[in-house]
Amino acid sequence: MTQAPAIPRAARRRHDREIVALAVPAFGALVAEPLFVMADSAIVGHLGTAQLAGLGVASALLTTAVSVFVFLAYATTAAVARRVGSGDLPAAIRQGMDGIWLALLLGTGVIAVVLPLAPGIVDLFGASTTAAPYAATYLRISSLGIPAMLIVLAATGVLRGLQDTRTPLYVAVAGFVANGALNAGLVYGAGLGIAGSAWGTVIAQCAMAAVYLTVVVRGARRHGASLRPDAAGIRASAQAGVPLLVRTLSLRAILMIATAVAAHLGDADIAAHQIILSLWSLLAFALDAIAIAGQAIIGRYLGADDTHGAREACRRMVQWGIATGVVLGLLVVAARPLFLPLFTSDSVVKDAALPALLMVALSQPICGIVFVLDGVLMGAGDGPYLAGAMVVTLAVFAPLALLVPALGGGLTALWTAMTLMMAVRMLTLWLRARSGRWIVTGATR
């Protein structure tokens, strides 16, 4: 990211083809993931309000738990891509198997905690007395699928590292279809109610994990890679994931603080905030797809000792991030008259959301740079810096956000603080990218 001549046209085209080939299927797979919860909500919603409320509490807990372990995908992608770049496919798959074994161990540990403590966890998160039994039932049953969910994360990282984002797309789409069919059949056909929805999701997740494992095992046999657990490799995967876990927890803390502040602003503001946050999350999928491509491409270049290619690819992906952010921002502005009525007919909520929505639109080019550089540094295995940078960002954002109600600011002020938070992230990531210290070549970092 230091000053460099313009990227030659042939190189731009080559990088563009790589980015599109990886990012487009990755975007499809990312969009398919939240559809699981949407399908469950649509089916369970017809059982009654208490059941839907219980699902809401349980699915929020499960989504949070799985997102905390997303480092299984990120760290595995970077490590496998480096091995691919170095030309050692057996070692790449062996590295991926270490991540999968770690996922199985972590998932088993989560079950051991959630199964006996599910009612207490649900009560801790404030579920009503009518919704709590349904939430506990759904949480207990769904927790049995957490090892499969985490295996899916790790195996997705393996395939991304192998420069394959198409297989995760196919598996995600098939999993979504199977989940919907199983839920409908078990909830209504078998009369199992909310428990049927949970079992349907568990079965779908286990089937997805089985498909991923089949693909990885075939690759291992083809290249002569060992499938047995290796304590040193599993420990190394865990150590690589710790900084990314810190990064993820810091980001979750930022989002939780923002929601808590919005709740203190009033009912209209928290309602508007949830609408805007859902849009912000959807936009993030498009930008995260480019980041995923960055993880795989940068890891491969560094593994091949190609520092020039890594720098060039980084610059081109930043250009993609900015351009995508501009387009998304313009779409938000153009679609705002149509978007808000989809979620609410309350004029007070609309009035609170509109100016904050414009802040989201203005922030998209910044978000584009942030997501891309985040992916580049992940692909480089620069986890410790990412963790430190996110902790700094949290330390800057928290007091700003908490001052919003005290100073009489509204939702627009809160989303201005969110935009400043993204600007801080952009600054920390840009400085690191420009320094070149992330460029560490070789099969391992």
Once rounded to an integer, what is the mean pLDDT over residues 41-61?
83
CA-to-CA distance for 105 and 226, rounded, in angstroms? 18
187 within 8 A of 235, measured Cβ to Cβ: no
Q: How buried is residue 333: exposed, middle or buried, by Cβ count under 10 Å (0-12/13-18/19+)? A: middle
Tokens of 321: 């991030």
Q: What pLDDT is recorded for position 395?
A: 97
Q: What pLDDT is recorded for position 91?
A: 94
Q: What pLDDT is recorded for position 380?
A: 96
pLDDT over 70 for what percent of the chain? 99
CA-to-CA distance for 22 and 30, rounded, in angstroms? 12
23 within 8 A of 290, measured Cβ to Cβ: yes
Question: Using one digit for the tens of pLDDT, what is the confidence trace for 387-433?
Answer: 999 999 999 999 999 999 888 888 999 999 999 999 999 999 999 99
Q: Which of 21-25, 51-55, 318-322 has maximum average pLDDT? A: 318-322
Once rounded to an integer, what is the mean pLDDT over residues 42-59?
84
Instruction: Look up tokens 């956000």; give the residue.
Output: 401
Residue 2: pLDDT band (50, 70, 90) is: very low
20 within 8 A of 177, measured Cβ to Cβ: no
Cα–Cα distance list, 6 to 9, 148, 305, 323, 347 (Å): 9, 45, 21, 17, 49
Higher pLDDT, 28 or 213: 213
CA-to-CA distance for 121 and 259, rounded, in angstroms? 20
CA-to-CA distance for 76 and 155, rounded, in angstroms? 8
pLDDT surpassing 80 at residue 32: no
pLDDT surpassing 50 at residue 40: yes
Write the DSSP assignment of 36-53 as a string of letters: HHHHHHHHHTTT-HHHHH
Q: What pLDDT is recorded for position 206?
A: 96
Q: What pLDDT is recorded for position 422?
A: 97
CA-to-CA distance for 409 and 402, rounded, in angstroms? 10
CB burial string 387-412: b at 16+ within 10 A, e below: bbbbeebbebbbebbeebbeeebbbb
Question: Using one digit for the tens of pLDDT, what is the confidence trace for 251-300?
Answer: 989 988 998 888 888 878 888 887 888 788 888 988 999 999 999 999 99
pLDDT surpassing 90 at residue 83: yes
Instruction: Kindly report which listed range (14-18, 59-63, 76-80) carries the lowest average pLDDT score.
Output: 59-63
CA-to-CA distance for 399 and 360, rounded, in angstroms? 20
Write the DSSP assignment of 216-276 as a string of letters: HHHHHHHHT---S--HHHHHHHHHHHHHHHHHHHHHHHHHHHHHHHHHHH-HHHHHHHHHH
Average pLDDT of every residue of the chain: 91
Q: Return all residues near 99 (Cβ < 8 A) that are at least 6 apart.
A: 72, 75, 76, 79, 154, 157, 158, 237
Residue 1: pLDDT band (50, 70, 90) is: very low
Instruction: Look up tokens 């001549």; give the residue.
Output: 5
Question: Using one digit for the tens of pLDDT, what is the confidence trace for 155-199?
Answer: 999 999 999 999 999 999 999 899 999 999 999 999 999 999 999
DSSP 6: P
Q: What pLDDT is recorded for position 60?
A: 77
Q: What pLDDT is recorded for position 170?
A: 95
C-alpha dihedral (129, 132, 133, 136), degrees to nearest 10: -160
Instruction: Kindly report which listed range (62-71, 136-145, 212-221, 292-301) carries the lowest average pLDDT score.
Output: 62-71
Q: What pLDDT is recorded for position 79?
A: 93
